[in-house]
Structure 1
Amino acid sequence: MDSKSFGGAPLTAFQLVELCQNIENVSYVKEETVFAGQLTTSLLEQDNHAVKGVMGGMGCKFLIAEYNRGMCGNMPASHYGDIHSKIWNLLEQGDEKGCKRNPHSHGPPEQL
């Protein structure tokens, strides 16, 4: 997990790739740094097969943007799992407009 909220310094895309290459059974990155989208783009542009996917978090606040950047999923706290799943399924179906019509598409109600 690459999260500034847990203290320490965020890892670079290169460092995350190295971890996935060198640690058995580590293939996915959970990305929650301040610039998660930019780091994810950099990470997915690396020419490697060690990183199978990147997952976002932050309560799905940036779910549509993360999907569009190539993230393979999101791991928020599950207070609104049904809403998040519906939005993700619409994205998988190519219905981004449907996601944006959903009143919770930009995050759970407490974030609006």
Structure 2
Amino acid sequence: MIRDQFLLDIAPEIIIDNFAGGGGASCGIELALGRHVDIGMRMLEPHELYAAQGFPSTYVIAPIMANGKPLPKHAQVRMCGNSVSPPMAAALVRANVPDMTSWSARERRLGVAA
């Protein structure tokens, strides 16, 4: 077959498709290389990314915008990438400003000690 002359000799290699998710990339890889993809990885959903960062499950990641629509998925992912992990922020406060750890909920809300 003509296609066989273009196949790469990568039999001992593991093939990983980092964009697996039903878009057909794995099929294209299989056609080009003549063998199946060994590992297909999918992109994480925004709620999975926020959980991995340590955000509580009650954290709102898709607020309703002024136009009445929820925040788009790409914006949710971008904001997660720009966020500071809550456990890390709490650890920094405990280490650098130990007095703030004893503040009441009201004092924390106002940002000043009584």
For Structure 1 versus Structure 2, the TM-score category normalised by the shorter chain is under 0.3
TM value normalised by structure 1:
0.22
Q: Is the radius of gyration larger for structure 1 or structure 2?
A: 2
Question: By percentage of residues, which structure has more helix?
Answer: 1
TM value normalised by structure 2:
0.22
Which one has more relative contact order, counting CA pairs under 8 Å at least 6 apart? 1
